Amino acid sequence: MDDNTNSWQVASMKCAALQLNLIVGDFEGNAAKILDGVRRAAQGGAELCITSELALWGYPARDLLLNPGWVDTSLQVLETLAEDLKDLPPTLVGFAAKRDAHASGKPLSNAAALLRHGQIEHVFQKTLLPTYDVFDELRYFEPGPGIEAFELNGAKIAVTICEDIWNDGELSRWGTYQQEPLRSLDTKDLDLLVNLSASPYTLSKHRIRKRIVSELASHLRVPILYTNQVGGNDDLLFDGRSFLTDANGACVLQAPLFDEDILIVETESRSQTEIKDACENTELFEALKVGVRDYVHKSGFSKVVIGLSGGIDSALTAAVAAKALGPNNVLGILMPSPYSSEGSVDDAIELARFLKIKTITLPIGDVMGSFDTTLSETFKDYDQDTTEENIQSRIRGTLLMALSNKFRSLLLTTGNKSELAVGYCTIYGDMNGALAVIADLPKTRVFTLSSWLNETQGPTIPENTITKPPSAELRPDQKDSDSLPDYDTLDNILFQLVDQHASLSEVESSGHDKAVVKRIARLLKISEFKRRQAAPGLKVTDRAFGTGWRMPLSSREPER
């Protein structure tokens, strides 16, 4: 953990938000991080420490929670942690609690344990269990009875877990909750409300979190300490930014973006300065860096390989990887074909020079010839079409997987969200990989983020890579525009169809050609089988093609 400790000196009770990067299922390791964090918080004078949601497990644990042996092991580790903390400040630790064996419903609760004097003194249960987007908590947990409080040094402190404070119309887009758990709490003489959270990152979501917490604090007239997980677990990213809001709803102090931190706050602090947020491009780049770093390292690897085409998608992916893992841990693979332009090869070489990464060049012309020879008799009565183009992509995919295996390096795939949406990618070819770094970035965002990198961090991506017309270079003079609308048009249509769930008529009424809209909607539907087999992609928008996207492979849709 970085030695990064913030404190706020005002004469009132001190609390510490333990903003930690946790590994799913690593009970011993997560407990050690919590113990170290509490020790450091104690040195800063903290009287109470709060972890993030399900901190002992790491979030999301998914179906690991269905294994009774794992649950038993976690509870043993929790008891040991309680003993280790006996001479340290009381600590609220997120964990999965066993319910009474004779109780109806699920066997577990999403809970927080109050560890004090070496004991598990009390267990607080989460009431609102989300079942939208990436969340499926009713699969594992039974809702708790309501919000409870405890006393510490004469202060009354209410304990909530993530969604318990999110019963809001704007956020509950999949249907509002029937319960309002805070109504079950006696707010009289309440001195502090704490929230243990594992709130996945999406662009600008932190502003909504702050609004929710601010309005609640102002309504209850009580400060709120919000503790969020940080780091990447699979496709989900957690931005941290734990914070304290005063009783007037003003944000007093905030932990960093995408960094571990022990945030020590005074519960009666008042806001002194405005807390400024990072710009969108900074957020996105940091999110992708953390996602790559944690996915690679938590999977037990240190190095990656990337196919470099000279195009903007592979260039941005390589730039993220080099910043996340260090240039020495990134290997770029150039695989020119007879259709690859000299300029694209030069662009890939210049990118590698900018990023200081090593490259290997493996021309595929001879391999293409072998395929042509093998298939010549079988294909003699057929014209060349996308079949031959896809063979090129699959040759490259095979070579990349071979290098990944031989060098024990994860393969990062380079496709963007626009391509993945309409199937402008080759399954078992350029879709090969262990992680799809920019799979949730529309093509237009890829361009703006790449330009921003050059503007803010110096030469990173060759200018020609950004300005030249995009092309897969699988046939002579090929351009993406031969197959797709311009990306501004395509991304706007896709945003309406995917993110806003708009009907075809609604998209048409926004100014788009009816035939184009219908074609894009059809491509979106028939490409589902590709997305089902794609590498996991880092989620940075509200609607990603990942664990929260649950579409049938075979279906018929009404005319809309």
Give the span between the Cα atoms of 113 and 439, in whole angstroms.
Answer: 37
Contact between 197 and 206 (Cβ < 8 Å): no
Question: What is the DSSP secondary structure assignment for residue 65, as one 8-state letter?
Answer: G
Give the span between the Cα atoms of 538 and 232, in whole angstroms.
Answer: 9
Task: List Cα–Cα distances, 525 to 416, 425, 488, 552, 558, in angstroms.
Answer: 17, 14, 20, 9, 13
Preceding peptide of 60 cis, ω within 30°: yes
Structure tokens at 331: 């290997």
Contact between 412 and 435 (Cβ < 8 Å): yes
Structure tokens at 145: 């009875």
Active site residues: 53, 126, 162
Using DSSP bridges, classify how beta strands 230-233 and 236-239 pair: parallel, antiparallel or unpaired: antiparallel
Sign of the Cα torsion 529, 532, 536, 537 reads positive
Structure tokens at 290: 């953390």
Contact between 320 and 292 (Cβ < 8 Å): yes
Cα angle 40-46-50, degrees, rounded to a multiple of 5? 85
Region of residue 458 (phi > 0: left; psi between -120 and 50: alpha; otherwise: beta):
left
**DSSP three-state, residue 317:** helix
